[in-house]
Amino acid sequence: DAGVIQSPRHEVTEMGQEVTLRCKPISGHNSLFWYRQTMMRGLELLIYFNNNVPIDDSGMPEDRFSAKMPNASFSTLKIQPSEPRDSAVYFCASSFDTGSGYTFGSGTRLTVV
């Protein structure tokens, strides 16, 4: 198994532009999580899905953030418009269920200038 696959690995964009981050979870995993990591705030849960259904998006910082999971093998996190304070590493993780160990992707390092 290739593990959780995220793309792109790095993204540099100008303020105001739309950014789309992508994630392919491990086949057979029913739960998918989007986390944001910064030095100041650590690992923050943004949103999670069970069986492709969004369960809790209370961690999404603003309406500028949105996430979808159209099928069991693909999810996106979109930021529109992007702002410099969105600069962080965004991790996608998947697991069999919310109470199991997570496997993280390699992350996307986002820089908004």
Partner 1 sequence: GENVEQHPSTLSVQEGDSAVIKCTYSDSASNYFPWYKQELGKRPQLIIDIRSNVGEKKDQRIAVTLNKTAKHFSLHITETQPEDSAVYFCAASPGNTPLVFGKGTRLSVIA
Contact positions vs partner 1 (CB under 8 A)? 31, 33, 42-43, 45, 48, 56, 91, 97-107
Closer by beta carbon to partner 1, 33 or else 82: 33
CA dihedral angle for residue 31, residue 49, residue 70, residue 16, rounded to 10 degrees: -120
Closer by beta carbon to partner 1, 74 or else 102: 102
Strands in 65-71's sheet, in edge-to-edge order, are: 5-7, 19-24, 74-79, 65-71
Closer by beta carbon to partner 1, 33 or else 65: 33
* Shortest spacing between CB 45 and partner 1, in angstroms: 5
* Shortest spacing between CB 106 and partner 1, in angstroms: 5
* Shortest spacing between CB 104 and partner 1, in angstroms: 4
Q: Please tell me the distance from the alpha carbon of residue 84 to that of residue 97, in angstroms, as a whole number.
A: 33
What percent helix, strand, coil does the chain show, rounded to 5? 5, 55, 40
